[in-house]
Chain A
Amino acid sequence: MDELYRDQILEHYKRPHNFGHLEHPDLEFEDTNPFCGDEQHVTIKLDGDDKVAAVAFEGKGCAISTAATSLLTDELVGMSREELLRLPKDFVLELLGIEISATRMKCAMLGLKIVKSASLGKPAEWEDEGEAGDPSEAVADLGQL
């Protein structure tokens, strides 16, 4: 437990980074953790090169989902939409630096899923428990954007 709720996680839960809402976002998406109904809303502004200039998120969630999205959004400035779509789940898991059980994986991945959906402009399809359906595979769809 000390591992899961270590100080870094609790710190991001209580004072999440990039928390809020960007006006007139270029990309935005909102989704729900089907496990509990928690919602997050991500807004992204792009620069002249179509790279992330600013990102913000808002919503109510557990320590894991809030900390995961807080940590994730710290890393996104300067990334292209393609790079966002290619972000693997391990990127978030490494940022969290803790073991995430299967039941909490949906919490940990909510922010990443929303970021990818925002860059895709539609819900990113994937299975939270497995490798199949990772939206990084959806890069091929980018041509349709």
Chain B
Amino acid sequence: MEPVTAKSPAAPLDVEKIRSAFPALEREVHGQPVAYLDSGASSQRVLASIQSVDRYERRHHSNVHRGSHTLSAEATEAYEGARATVADHIGAADRREVVFVRNATEAINLVARAWGDANVGAGDRILLTEMEHHSNIVPWQQMAERAGAEIDWAPVDDDGLLDMDAFAALLARGPKLVAVTHVSNVLGTENPIAEIARLAHDAGALVLCDGAQAAPKLPLDMAELGVDFYAITGHKLYAPTGIGALWTKLDLLRSMPPFLGGGSMIRKVTKEGTTYADPPARFEAGTPAIAQAIGMASAMRWLDMVGMDAVREHEEQIADYALERVAEVPGLRVFGPPRGPGRLGPVSFEIEGIHAHDVSEILDRHGVAVRAGHHCAQPLMDRLEIAATARASFGVYTTTEEIDRLLDGLEDARKVFGI
């Protein structure tokens, strides 16, 4: 395989060793080891994360920030330690900038409710892109409806890249916020977030970046990206469901009213009213997902051990190999940027004459798991003028042999459909 980047390579991943850290990869599906090419929907869990959750549940559980007894202190230490790990992993300046949430969707809803409702009014504008996941569309549509605000859509060009000229032109309309995905969950496009943030700030807008797809693949440094809000989910990052993180600059977080009300997020409650705790507690009402936060932090520590530069390089190499191989399939059309440096997964495609559902069903019979559908990105599907694609998405454990099995399955699909 040709190297895809000119920069000095990170030490390559020992994929076999990495695979041994993922118990689910031992599963067989229809008599064959599962070739799990659906990590973009949800990754498999790394053993380090599974074990840390298990250890916590067996020995250290109590409620956090509540009692002075030993178990509560241990749980609190583990939960706040998890926050520090997340902060460290994403290059946050301060662990208090990390708010634990259920997932990236909740992170974005939190911003739309807490920051948006307080700062976006009638006639104001929000700038989205055509390649957003529904999680970075619907909360803004709901907010725009509450506020009487308008939404603009930065277009995607035919190569699956954000049209930066059109983006700059829409910025001139003076949006209050730019909400953009870091990596497209359909196209594998990595958006130039640092440049977007610079342009947006020059135009007076804040920037929210949806990092659900990017966080498992890319080294992250919040200062380098220069955004104001960054949303992460755990379950695509080799960690449990029900946990994610919202990173926000501390000053901004301090200026925001709460999202949900309840226990833990208060300073003082009287019959007359309530004053609120400082961030991050202000945004974590109720007992949090303690074990899951610990599980996410363990997965991040494990990723740091592997090295995020190597993780990124592996993703680029697998995406490149997959793009090279699927180009051999007659009648197959790939959506997203062409092969080249910086092209990440997933690889979304359609085969003329076979619906994506049927492709995925036949691949499943070969033990190959891919997703078929609109990938919660219907405006992008409209832009591409298709209803559904099949999508192969990758993880640290993906091998070129699995891509070869994908190709064998596609060959069979064409045979079944007589193409």
Q: Which A residues lie at the B interface, using CB under 8 A? A: 1, 4-5, 10, 35-39, 60-64, 104, 107
Contact = CB atoms under 8 A, between A and B. Distances in A.
A5 B416 contact: yes
24 contacts: A1-B362, A4-B361, A5-B416, A5-B417, A10-B416, A10-B418, A35-B373, A36-B356, A36-B357, A36-B372, A36-B373, A36-B387, A36-B388, A37-B374, A37-B387, A37-B388, A60-B355, A60-B387, A61-B355, A62-B355, A64-B358, A104-B357, A104-B361, A107-B357
A85 B387 CA distance: 28
Given A5-B416, A35-B373, A37-B381, 7 more contacts: A1-B365, A1-B416, A36-B374, A37-B374, A37-B387, A62-B356, A104-B357
Contacts of A37: 373-374, 378, 381, 387-388
A28 to B, nearest CB: 20
A63 B416 CA distance: 11
Nearest to B365: A1
A62 B357 contact: yes
Nearest to A35: B373
Interface residues of B, number: 17
Contacts of B416: 1, 5, 10
A58 to B, nearest CB: 13
A35 B418 CA distance: 26
Q: Which 8 A-B pairs have the closest CB atoms?
A: A62-B355, A62-B357, A37-B374, A36-B373, A36-B388, A1-B365, A37-B387, A63-B358
B247 to A, nearest CB: 32
A80 B365 CA distance: 41
B362 A5 contact: yes
A39 B386 CA distance: 11
A64 B362 CA distance: 13
Interface of B: 355-358, 361-362, 365, 372-374, 378, 381, 387-388, 416-418
A1 to B, nearest CB: 5
* Highest count of chain B CB atoms <10 Å: which of A5, A10, A107: A5
Nearest to A38: B387
A55 to B, nearest CB: 22
Contacts of A10: 416-418
Contacts of B356: 36, 62
A63 B387 contact: no
A53 B365 CA distance: 41
Contacts of B378: 37
Contacts of A5: 358, 362, 416-417
B406 to A, nearest CB: 16
Contacts of B357: 35-36, 62-64, 104, 107
Contacts of B365: 1
A6 to B, nearest CB: 10
Contacts of B387: 36-39, 60
Nearest to B416: A5
Contacts of A36: 356-357, 372-374, 387-388
Contacts of A60: 355, 387
A64 B356 CA distance: 12
A64 to B, nearest CB: 7
A84 B378 CA distance: 31
A12 to B, nearest CB: 13
B220 to A, nearest CB: 32
Contacts of B358: 5, 62-64
Contacts of A39: 387
Nearest to A10: B417
A36 B374 CA distance: 5
Nearest to B362: A1
Contact of B388 (A1, A38, A104): A38
Contacts of A38: 355, 387-388
* Highest count of chain A CB atoms <10 Å: which of B356, B357, B372, B378: B357
A39 B381 CA distance: 13
A64 B378 CA distance: 22
